Structure 1
Amino acid sequence: MKWQEVQQIYPNQFVKFEVLHSEETENQEVIDEVAVIGPISDEKATQELLDSRDNTLVYHTSKDQVIVKVRKNVGLRRKL
């Protein structure tokens, strides 16, 4: 399901979904196709996001696009 469809079905609320398709640029991943798991209440959204694993995310439908910042592993630093 495209993100625009999700916005129409679940207007102005948090939704938990699995990422089906995304495109990665330099430091961002733009997600355009998802499989909706279901709506999430405002009170439970943060905890659901923290509990999410792999390709599962929680995002608010008021946003036009689902954009996730990609962090590269830079390794550990230690004092020599």
Structure 2
Amino acid sequence: MIWEDVRKAYPNSWVVFEAIQAHSKNNYRIVDEIAVIDSFNDSMQALRRHSELHKLKPSRELYFFHTSREKLDIHEKKWAGLRKI
């Protein structure tokens, strides 16, 4: 599924989704294919679901966005320094 299809299928909703196919370009993550996991009316419910899924499997590329957004503007953060393991 692409973002335009998600917006049509889940109008005015918060969606939690996994990026099935994605690539990086100019410090942005471009999501080419999406698998919707859940949809919510409330942003906090979407955040909790996203956090729950991320804790279960941190390697999955998970996001949550409101479908009122025309584009997915996912800015990549570059980590500098050491991270606690």
Same fold (TM over 0.5): yes
Shift of 1:26: 2.2
Q: Bigger radius of gyration, 1 or 2?
A: 1
TM-score normalized by the length of structure 2: 0.74
- Count of aligned positions: 76
- TM-score with structure 1 length normalisation? 0.78
Segments of structure 1 that go 5 or more residues without pairing to the other structure are none
CA RMSD for the aligned pairs? 1.7
Are residue 71 (structure 1) and residue 77 (structure 2) matched?
yes
4+ aligned runs moved over 4 Å, structure 1: none
Aligned ranges for residues 46-57 of structure 1 at < 5 Å? 46-53=47-54, 54-57=60-63
The structure richer in helix per residue is 2
Segments of 5+ residues of structure 2 without an aligned counterpart are 55-59
Q: How many percent identity over aligned positions?
A: 30
